[in-house]
Amino acid sequence: MGTLYLVATPIGNLGDITLRAIETLKMVDVVACEDTRRTGLLLQHLSIKKPLLSYYEENEDVRVPEIMNRLKSGQSIALVTDGGTPCISDPGFPLVRAAIAEGISITSIPGPSALLSALILSGLPTHHFLFLGFLPQKHNKRHEVLTWARLVLEGQKLSVVLYIPPHRLETTLEEIKTILGNRSASLARELTKIHEEVIRGSISDLQRIIVRREKMHQPLKGEMVLVIS
């Protein structure tokens, strides 16, 4: 049987690719990826030519059996996402579970992670944290998750980490302040990229900064990670 490699790739700066990741991508038979165009550009940058197989949330039901058949036939496959570590708010979990069930060898090739980068830059406690990933799109579901998080935080010294799409930033901050309170927070955006920025303060401070930036026609854009004390 082949081996499934879970390969972390840069979240922005291509210089963050590890030597081991490069060696693995050169060695495997196939690279399964979210966006073949985006991964194609990364491989081109690394002067690597490999067959690409699209693997994203909407086609996992179809791709998992296909990838499992390839692994059983002896092929080695690297799973990558558009950026960061597979399975962390990115596709991969069903494939890993299927590989474990079939006794397929799985190896992690560690590297960039927006979650950890934002956490260590936040200035908030890092020893224990609660990762919520992306909050649900529906209001009532978000309310349920945040209410549960409030119960978890009671009497605990935990930081909370979550990913926020730019178009839901203001709504999410207001919901967090309402349910969790006006806690200290850190908002990191465009991590490792040219316009990397970390804004620290209370939830109310962040809200005021957002309003001010919009009035200056400099709205906050890009991929964002929020850390809450």
The pLDDT tens digits of the residues spanning 7-63 come to 999 999 999 999 999 999 999 999 999 999 999 999 999 999 999 999 999 999 999
Output the CA torsion 2→89→54→108 (10° steps): -20
pLDDT at residue 109 above 90?
Answer: yes
Rounded Cα gap, residues 27 and 30, in angstroms: 9
- Max Cα distance, the chain (Å): 59
What confidence category does residue 155 fall into, taking pLDDT thresholds of 50, 70 and 90? confident
Rounded Cα gap, residues 214 and 220, in angstroms: 8
CATH number at 198 reads: 3.30.950.10
- What's the pLDDT at 86? 96
- Over the chain, what is the mean pLDDT? 95
- What's the pLDDT at 87? 95
Percent pLDDT > 90 in the chain is: 92
How many residues belong to the chain? 229
Q: Does residue 181 sit in helix, strand or coil? A: coil
Mark whether 122 and 151 lie in a shared domain.
Answer: yes
- What's the pLDDT at 156? 85
User: Do 153 and 130 meet the contact criterion of CB atoms below 8 Å apart?
Assistant: yes
Rounded Cα gap, residues 215 and 229, in angstroms: 28
Mark whether 105 and 147 lie in a shared domain.
Answer: no
Q: Please write the tens of the pLDDT for every residue from 50-108.
A: 999 999 999 999 999 999 999 999 999 999 999 999 999 999 999 999 999 999 999 99
User: Do 181 and 168 meet the contact criterion of CB atoms below 8 Å apart?
Assistant: no
Mark whether 98 and 125 lie in a shared domain.
Answer: no
pLDDT at residue 157 above 90?
Answer: no
End of a domain among 64, 87, 109? Answer: 109
End of a domain among 64, 86, 109? Answer: 109
Mark whether 85 and 123 lie in a shared domain.
Answer: no
Count of domains observed in the chain? 2
Could you give phi then psi for residue 140, rounded to 5 degrees? Answer: -65, -35
Q: Which of 58, 57, 60, 39 is nearest to 49 (CA)?
A: 39
CATH number at 69 reads: 3.40.1010.10
Mark whether 121 and 180 lie in a shared domain.
Answer: yes
End of a domain among 87, 109, 131? Answer: 109
Q: Please tell me the least confidently modeled range out of 103-112, 148-157, 182-191.
A: 148-157
User: Which domain range does residue 198 map to?
Assistant: 114-228
